[in-house]
Amino acid sequence: MLAAMLIREATLHDWPRMWAFMEGIVRAGETFSWDRDTTESQAKQMWFPKPPGRTFVAIDAGGTILGTANSVRNHRGGAAHISSASFMVDPARSGQGVGRALGEHVLKQARKDNFRAMQFNAVVETNTRAVALWRSLGFEVMTTLPAGFHHPAHGYVGLHIMHRKL
């Protein structure tokens, strides 16, 4: 666990430092359901959602970006009270509590933004560290889409839909 970590709203000024590690995650194609050839411009547009969406960064005491998350309205109309979120942690910072800190922050902010639940639409079942983290933060696997994700090393694997009340 990092001794000093701050989570704040991200700005477009942060983007180059975010993309520096996000690009490798996207290109690997192991945990995100984005096209592996997603351009930087496309990624930036997806990662910075329109309000009420929010984008966050976790930074250390020296200002290094350790990870990022975004939070969006998952549905509209009668289901507009359900949020969703996505997370990417710099692989060099894996296992240091960045994902947990971002997850806790996003959940707290979603409550403040008057969402009543959070739903993750696509958690790759082979991403066992993420699945364990989300379970520890109160999420349940509601269903698994069999062979819902084509993993570059493991072939077709399940894709979890996870949910928790806020």
Tell me what pLDDT residue 2 has: 62
List, for residues 75-86, the tens digit of each pLDDT value.
Answer: 999 999 999 999
Q: Where are the domains of the chain?
A: 5-165
Q: Which of 32, 102, 31 is nearest to 68 (CA)?
A: 102
pLDDT bin (cut points 50, 70, 90) of residue 102 is very high
**DSSP assignment of 38-91, as one string?**
--HHHHHHHHSPPTT-EEEEEEETT--EEEEEEEEE---GGGTTEEEEEEEE-G
DSSP 12: G
List, for residues 19-78, the tens digit of each pLDDT value.
Answer: 999 999 999 999 999 999 999 999 999 999 988 899 999 999 999 999 999 999 999 999
The pLDDT of residue 165 is above 80: yes
CB atoms within 10 A of CB 50: 8
The percentage of the chain sitting over the pLDDT mark of 90, rounded to a whole number, equals: 95
Give the global pTM. Answer: 0.94
Architecture of domain 5-165: 3-Layer(aba) Sandwich (3.40)
**Which pair of structure tokens corresponds to residue 81?**
């009270």
